DNA sequence: CTGAAAGCGCTTACAG
DNA sequence: CTGAAAGCGCTTACAG
């Protein structure tokens, strides 16, 4: 059924060696036979057997991307997909295939997990989630080349992260510049399971906000936020009852901004008329669906490409230095925070499009 | 460096055959030696070489998922990720590894694409995007077992889709039940490139809406919608200037609902106070961030699991019948459409939480 | 410039 | 119950 090199060899009456050399563009075959072999291979619909190649070369050609998708948290942040597509682009350009891998039940370790942990399937893995250190070590032990992307692990090499503290600073700076003198920072409360997951980024963002606000003597009220539990609604209801146009609400994640926006809308409140709103993060979908959100923007796709490149360097030139990198976001002025003194009416007239 | 079966055989002074039989739980080894071998294998950190196994079994153990991510459209709908995670779960349970594959530049065919098209890498592929028929045929020619999920391709077997027409009917039925007697349907305009991509689903949804509305003698105004171009903003501005609480806006995709909500909010308009809003679709992120959206809900994750199961059936029992399936969504009553006669005040007092 | 041969790591009929 | 051997499809030193 499937065509092999031997079959082509038989067909063209040469040795398998000649076929291999001819198809891989190596010298050692006359140009005439090379042409003849290539022609026949094309006609027969030959495609190399990846497994056989892999066995010879001791390289699988597969790179994993590890996402958090255990049973307690079936869906990681969907925005991760944007980064994954960037990784995919980068890997594909280098001839690798991307294997999606999820962490199995974290409690069980990796026992019930993917085949990539029980067999030799991957040349390397990009860790795109936060997980307990113990699990991190397990991954390092089972899979040869690891790159950490947006992970809690951080070392001198092979790590890549957004600059969360800078994002917090940018938000605070722009809110102050608009004239706000009262900030509310909304974030996940640090309960045990969630702290694992978003601790480093949430902490860094808040630090950035505080750093700038403290410097200007502006208070930052911290409001815990659980969007998927009834208690979260109560807290938001309380917030809405107290909010004024003089207050700027800063949220960490774009998901939080979305939740807040819809909840406020249902309560008849809209930024920037009734309060200021900005976000330390965004994603492609935000830039498309909510271009007016005042925010720090990160190129998650580009981050993925960069991580893929880092992996390729680690594989191709393992002895070269590959320093960890931090990527800064860009402030995007929107129409959800116009300052406490801005006439609400003009906001209403200007409409939804805030882009230049 | 890596441990092989021969090394274990040498260590335990048995033949490679015995090691293979012992580790794979096959009869033909005494229980004593089996235990000894397993113990040694564990100590040496043995993990089978997937390539060697693959070569013997003529199965790669990799299943592709094809997404649209060409240069003109770097990011497919991010909600696709939810489905992909479902597929991943289903495949992993069956011992397969998921390879993410993107369509290369559609114009160029698959020439510059992933290695999965030039070598034998995959046992099968799940097409999770719409693409030209010609490309579809190419995929079928290059990769053995194809499952179509949410694709424009439809046959008696191996296809899986949401029931879009039913979603449209559900939306219209519930809007009519709430008392709305004027519907606006917002959708992508059918321009050439976009028609390819969303034609079948968009057409089916609108048909469903019309079917119900026509039956009740209720008019449906169609408004084209381009959210990523300035002309889209103009059209929305016009819509907002005409909208009233007596009108229910029906949108096809959750992305459209999000865009509309933010744009309306910036203009000081909120559903259900100023107009009714419902959506033929949702996603996990919508259910978390915007639980109050009146909508038809689809379990995209479950759809992914179902597609993976379909693939496994096709691989395990190729001769069995595997009929195509259509999955219906469920109506979720929210707080974005409460009927034209509902007192706006009560909506404002009730707050953001609309869940039972 | 080309053919015959070894070997990557595994599985599995085939003898003993 | 166990060992020696073939073979999956490919690549690559080694002779000629």
Contact B108, B99 (CB under 8 A): no
Average confidence (pLDDT) over A4-21:
91
State the nearest Cα–Cα gap between A21 and chain B, in angstroms. Answer: 17
Angle at B226 between CA B222 and CA B227, to 5 degrees: 120
Please check the confidence at residue B116 and state whether its pLDDT lies above 90.
Answer: yes
In angstroms, the CA of A102 and the C1' of D6 are apart by 39
pLDDT at B108: 59
Closest Cα in chain A, distance from residue B99 (Å): 4
CA separation for the pair A270, A266 (Å, rounded): 9
Alpha carbon distance A323, A344 (integer Å): 48
Residue B159 bridge partners (DSSP): B148
pLDDT score recorded for residue A289? 86
Sign of CA dihedral B116, A100, A93, A138: negative
| Interatomic CA distance for residues A156 and A159, integer angstroms | 7
Q: Note the pLDDT tens digit of each residue in A273-303.
A: 899 999 999 988 898 889 999 999 999 999 9
> Number of C-alpha atoms within 13 angstroms, CB side, residue B160?
23
Q: For residues A66 and A128, is the Cβ–Cβ distance under 8 A?
A: yes
Residue B12 in this model has a pLDDT that exceeds 50:
yes
What is the per-residue pLDDT for A344? 46
Separation between the CA of A183 and the C1’ of C2 (whole angstroms): 79
pLDDT at B110: 53
- Backbone phi, psi, residue A183, to 5°: -115, 140
| Residue-level pLDDT at A106 | 52
d(CA B117, CA B81): 22
Instruction: Cite the DSSP H helix spans in chain B.
Output: 5-12, 16-23, 31-44, 50-57, 80-93, 133-142, 164-177, 192-216, 230-242, 254-266, 284-289, 300-316, 344-350
What is the spatial distance between Cα A292 and Cα A355, in angstroms, rounded to a whole number? 7
**Could you tell me what percent of chain A has a pLDDT over 90?**
61
The Cα B254–Cα B273 span in angstroms is 20
Q: Rounded CA gap, B262 and A271, in Å?
A: 10
State pLDDT tens for residues A188-211: 765 444 444 557 888 899 999 999
Mutate to test the interface with B, among A47, A97, A283 (most CBs of B within 10 A): A97
Q: How confident is the model over B168-189, as a mean pLDDT?
A: 92
> B57-66, B187-196, B251-260: which has the highest mean pLDDT?
B57-66
Among A178-182, A231-235, B146-150, the range scoring the smallest mean pLDDT is A231-235
B6: nt with nearest C1' to CA: C9
Chain A residues within an 8 Å CB radius of B336:
266
Residue B173's pLDDT is 97
The H or E element containing residue A230 is: helix A230-242
| Whether residue B86 has pLDDT greater than 60 | yes
Tokens 């196994």 label which residue?
A: B53
User: Which are the contacts of A337, defined by CB distance < 8 A and separation ≥ 6?
Assistant: A174, A175, A178, A180, A248, A271, A272, A276, A277, A278, A294
Q: Which two tokens stand for residue B291?
A: 């639980």
pLDDT confidence tier of residue A223, bands split at 50, 70 and 90: confident
Residue B51 — φ and ψ, nearest 5°?
-65, -45
Mark yes or no for CB contact B120/A2 under 8 Å: yes
What pLDDT is attached to residue B249? 96
pLDDT at position A112 over 60:
no
Can you give the pLDDT at residue A242? Answer: 87
Distance CA A290, CA A288 (A): 6
Q: How far is the CA of A54 from the C1' of C7 (A)?
A: 14
Q: Is the pTM of this model over 0.85?
A: yes
Q: Is A297 within 8 Å of A257 (Cβ atoms)?
A: no
- B263-269 mean pLDDT: 87
Residue range B303-342, pLDDT digits in tens: 999 999 999 999 999 999 999 999 999 999 999 999 887 6
pLDDT of residue A103: 83
pLDDT at res. A77: 79
How far apart are the CA of A214 and the nearest CA of chain B, in angstroms?
31
Above pLDDT 70, what percent of chain A? Answer: 87
Residues forming a β-bridge with A65: A100, A126
Mean of all residue pLDDT scores within chain B: 87
Looking at the predicted structure, is the pLDDT value of residue B343 above 60?
no
pLDDT in tens, A41-91: 999 999 999 999 999 999 999 999 999 877 667 777 788 999 999 999 999
Residue A216 touches chain B, beta carbons under 8 Å: no
Cβ pair B99, B65 in contact under 8 A? yes
The per-residue pLDDT for B112 is: 55
Check: CB of residue B157 under 8 Å from CB of residue B277. Answer: no
Considering only CB atoms, which chain B residues are within 8 Å of A142? Answer: 47
Give the per-residue pLDDT at B122.
97
Q: Do B75 and A119 touch (CB under 8 A)?
A: no
CA A104 to CA A147: how far, in whole Å? 19
Q: Is B45 exposed, middle or buried (0-12, 13-18, 19+ CB in 10 A)?
A: exposed
pLDDT of residue B200: 80
Taking Cα atoms as reference points, which of A239, A244, A238 lies closest to residue A273?
A244
What mean pLDDT, rounded, does chain A reach? 87
Contact B347, B273 (CB under 8 A): yes
pLDDT classification of A352: cutoffs 50, 70, 90: very low
What is the rounded average pLDDT of the residues B275-291?
Answer: 92
Q: Between B129 and A248, name the one with better pLDDT.
A: A248
pLDDT classification of B227: cutoffs 50, 70, 90: low
What's the pLDDT score for residue B276?
95
pLDDT band for position B198 (50/70/90)? Answer: low
- A281, A255 Cβ separation under 8 angstroms: no
């Amino acid at each position: 059924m499937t065509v092999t090199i031997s079959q082509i060899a038989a067909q063209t009456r040469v040795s398998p060696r000649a076929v291999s050399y001819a198809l891989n563009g190596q010298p050692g075959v006359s140009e005439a036979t090379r042409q003849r072999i290539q022609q026949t291979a094309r006609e027969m619909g030959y495609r190399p057997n990846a497994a056989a190649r892999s066995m010879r070369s001791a390289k699988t050609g597969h790179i994993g991307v590890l996402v958090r998708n255990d049973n307690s948290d079936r869906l990681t942040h969907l925005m991760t997909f944007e980064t994954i597509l960037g990784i995919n682009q980068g890997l594909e350009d280098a001839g690798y295939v991307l294997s999606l891998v999820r962490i199995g039940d974290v409690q069980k370790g990796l026992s019930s997990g993917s085949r990539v942990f029980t067999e030799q399937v991957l040349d390397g893995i990009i860790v795109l989630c936060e997980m307990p250190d113990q699990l991190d070590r397990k991954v390092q032990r089972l899979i040869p080349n690891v790159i950490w992307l947006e992970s809690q692990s951080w070392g001198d090499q092979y790590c890549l992260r957004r600059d969360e503290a800078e994002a917090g600073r940018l938000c605070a700076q722009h809110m102050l510049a608009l004239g706000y003198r009262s900030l509310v920072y909304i974030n996940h409360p640090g309960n045990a399971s969630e702290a694992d997951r978003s601790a480093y980024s949430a902490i860094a963002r808040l630090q950035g906000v505080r750093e700038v606000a403290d410097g200007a003597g502006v208070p930052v009220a911290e409001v815990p936020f659980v969007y998927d539990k009834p208690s979260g609604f109560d807290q938001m209801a309380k917030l809405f009852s107290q909010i004024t146009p003089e207050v700027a609400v800063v949220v960490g994640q774009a998901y939080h901004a979305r939740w807040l926006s819809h909840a406020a809308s249902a309560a008849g409140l809209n930024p920037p008329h009734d309060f200021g709103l900005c976000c330390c993060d965004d994603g492609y979908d935000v830039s498309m669906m909510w271009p007016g959100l005042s925010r720090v923007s990160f190129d998650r796709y580009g981050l993925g490409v960069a991580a893929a490149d880092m992996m390729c360097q680690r594989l191709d030139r393992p002895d070269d230095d590959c320093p960890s990198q931090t990527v800064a976001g860009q402030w995007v002025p929107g129409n959800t925070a116009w300052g406490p003194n801005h006439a609400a009416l003009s906001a209403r007239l200007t409409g939804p499009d805030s882009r230049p």
